[in-house]
Amino acid sequence: MSDSVCAIVVTYNRKNLLIECLEALRKQTRPIQGIYLIDNASTDGTPELLLEKGYISELPPQNLKEPWEKEFIIQNLVDGREIKLYYVRMHENTGGAGGFYEGVKRGYEKGYDWLWLMDDDIEPKSQAIEIMLTYKNIAHVIHPCKVYIDGTLFTWEYLHFYMFPFTKELNDISFAKYGKKWVCVNYGCFEGMLIHRSIIEKIGFPDKKYFTMFDDTIYGFKASLHTNVIYINEILFIKKIKKTYKRKNLLGLIEYTEEKSDTTAYYSIRNYFLLYKDINKLIKDYIPPIIFWLFITKFFVKKVTKYLLLRDWNLLIAAIKGFKDGVKYILSSNEE
């Protein structure tokens, strides 16, 4: 079949959601040809559940020192066609960025035409890939519209990334405003992104150094320099996890959205520095330095104030470390 498609699914400790995602991939009305499943060293029994459900026929070795890959055959549940499942068990948790790097690299090297990137808490509707491919003559990077499991819309017009003018249409891409079936953007989201190998040839693989957060943003930005990157007005995905961590401050008056972990607190700050430097390497002074430093200072102070009011010292320390490491990266000549 022309336009071969391989899904790239990155998972970590969400075994039940992972099975739901894989089941949905097997129900596509336009069958896909492969699935690269990157297991980021899950500790919740993910390999055992995959074995129980028939996705793999042997468990990976214990105490891995490097990634382990094995190919298995499963079937599309609509017409029985074979799907190659490549199970990659990582020897350590490399984060979403590391997982997508591995998946895109391996899928690209296998020769697939299109790679379909998604987290484990994403479920594509049965016609998702069939509909997305109808836009292949318009763009070589295609994003679906999503809803949360409670039915609320996952709207990109709220993803402004603060000081970054990332969309080509004034940071507001609501379809009601523009009356289109699709709009151009110039950032990415690894929750259903469909990318053609011709673009990967030009921009390489996702950047491992991000670990988590903004790895997809910069990847979409790089792609937008070579093709239309579009977001289509059709709900084709369900997102299972909605992050709403809230609690009141010491005075009990204000509710703050709270990061789930110190890892998130760290990367939410540090990765802005990476994003700024990497974009300015591609387009010099795309983001003027004064704009960036005003933004990042305000953002950092707001975070630190929140953590002080919450008396959450782990998040506070993580945020400070994220800021320090980010500044160090900006000042460094390291271009890894």
Q: Which CATH number is 235's domain given?
A: 3.90.550.60
Which tokens go with 149?
Answer: 């499991």
15 and 128 fall within a common domain: yes
Domain contains 175:
yes
Task: Provide the pLDDT for residue 161.
Answer: 44
Residue position matching structure tokens 């790097």:
101
167 and 34 fall within a common domain: yes
Domain contains 87:
yes
204 and 255 fall within a common domain: no
Closest CA to 203 of 217, 230, 224: 224
Domain contains 336:
no
Task: Provide the pLDDT for residue 3.
Answer: 93
- Measure the CA–CA gap between 303 and 88, rounded to whole angstroms: 37
Show the domain range for 290: 246-331
Angle subtended at Cα 192 by Cα 18 and Cα 39, rounded to the nearest 5 degrees: 35
160 and 87 fall within a common domain: yes
- Measure the CA–CA gap between 259 and 200, rounded to whole angstroms: 32
Report CA-CA distances (Å) from 205 to 60, 75, 198, 217, 241.
25, 28, 12, 13, 26
- Measure the CA–CA gap between 334 and 336, rounded to whole angstroms: 6
Contact 197, 107 (CB under 8 A): no
Tell the burial category of 130 from Cβ atoms under 10 Å away from its Cβ (0-12, 13-18, 19+). middle
Domain contains 327:
yes
Domain contains 149:
yes
Q: Which residues of the chain have pLDDT under 50?
A: 1, 158-163, 166-171, 245, 248-256, 258
Task: Provide the pLDDT for residue 245.
Answer: 47
The stretches of the chain forming alpha helices (DSSP H) are 15-25, 46-52, 95-109, 128-132, 175-178, 197-203, 215-224, 262-282, 289-310, 313-331
Is pTM beyond 0.85? Reply is yes
DSSP 121: T
209 and 165 fall within a common domain: yes
- Measure the CA–CA gap between 162 and 174, rounded to whole angstroms: 17
Q: How many structural domains compose the chain?
A: 2
Amino acid present at 49: L
- Measure the CA–CA gap between 37 and 11, rounded to whole angstroms: 7
138 and 153 fall within a common domain: yes
Task: Provide the pLDDT for residue 68.
Answer: 98
The model's pLDDT over 166-197, given as tens digits with 9 standing for 90+, comes to 444 444 555 555 557 888 888 899 999 999 99
Task: Provide the pLDDT for residue 169.
Answer: 43
125 and 185 fall within a common domain: yes
- Give 66-93 as a DSSP string: S-EEEEEEEE-TTT--EEEEEEEE-SS-
